[in-house]
Homo-oligomer: A and B are copies of this chain.
Amino acid sequence: MRGNLFAVAVNLVVLTVRSNRLHALLIERGEPPFLGAWALPGGFVRPEEDLVHTAGRRLGEETGADTGHAVVGHLEQLASYAAPDRDPRGRVLSVGYLAFVPDMPEPTPGGGAAASAWCPIDAVPTLAFDHDRILDDGVERARSKLEYTTLAASFCPHEFTVTDLRRIYEAVWRTTLDPRNFQRKVTSTDGFLVPTTTLVTGGRGRPPRLFRRGPARALHPPMLRESHRVTDDAPSSETSTPIRG
């Protein structure tokens, strides 16, 4: 078998919406390199472990899913990053994973991290390695996935209101949506939401109904965000490359 050998790591872009703002889960590195710097959570792939297993394991460790806290969400592979000089220790390929989780208590650091925290997406400091780019790619993926899938519901707990769901879209897209048109759109899209009989009392206005996520995964027609630019909006990464002329 030709070729040199790589260490293979998984890094997680874990997104959630807290206080109507999109946040990412960051860890403070507890060991070199980049000791003390902020980074994406992650870890090396163990022998006999598949990529998604590593990602799920580290996600559980960081979000405290192993403490019995019920986690509903979504996990998907994002992209791989393997620039020769991206890690000073040697040749390391990192597979990025993108996770959506509902708002939950403060994270519990794991995997050799000194600390961990939810950080608003527009206040993220410079990160270790090439994690800035991985994070950017993850956020961009999240923004476009909300357009044509029902994944916004992965940011919500098991039962949620239409307004809860709208706040997800507004936070991820940094925009505002008409509450009335949004309501009609999501409740009339077959399989997106399943109504319960429960109304949430205690709020300031008419009590909203609770819904659960339905079986639909694709959104047709999609939920288009406003004024998508028509010219080049390729992500920052290599993921889109024209070949010559």
Copies in the complex: 2
Residues 206-239 of A, flagged 1 when their CB comes within 8 A of B and 0 if not, give 0000000001111011101000111111100111
Of A19-27, A74-82, A180-188, the one with at least 4 CB within 8 A of chain B: A74-82
Minimum C-beta distance from A150 to chain B (A): 9
Pick the contact of A231 from B3, B93, B217, B229 — CB < 8 Å? B217
In the docked arrangement, what's the CA distance between A50 and B86, Å? Answer: 10
With the chains together, A234 CA to B50 CA distance in Å? Answer: 19
Report the Cα distance A76→B48, complex, angstroms.
Answer: 28
Contact between chains at B47 and A230 (CB < 8 Å): no
State the majority secondary structure of interface residues on A. Answer: loop
| Measured CA separation A8–B72 after assembly (Å) | 33
Interface size class of A (residues with CB under 8 A): 35 or more
Q: Which of A51-59, A117-125, A161-169, A171-179 contacts B (4 or more CB under 8 A)?
A: A51-59
Are B51's CB and A8's CB within 8 A? Answer: no
- Mark each residue of chain A from 130 to 154: 1 if its CB lies under 8 Å from any CB of chain B, else 0: 0000000000000000001000001
Instruction: Flag if A74 contacts B221 (CB, 8 Å).
Output: no
Q: Which of A19-46 contact B (CB under 8 A)?
A: 44-46
Q: Which B residues lie within 8 Å of A95 (CB)?
A: 80, 82, 93
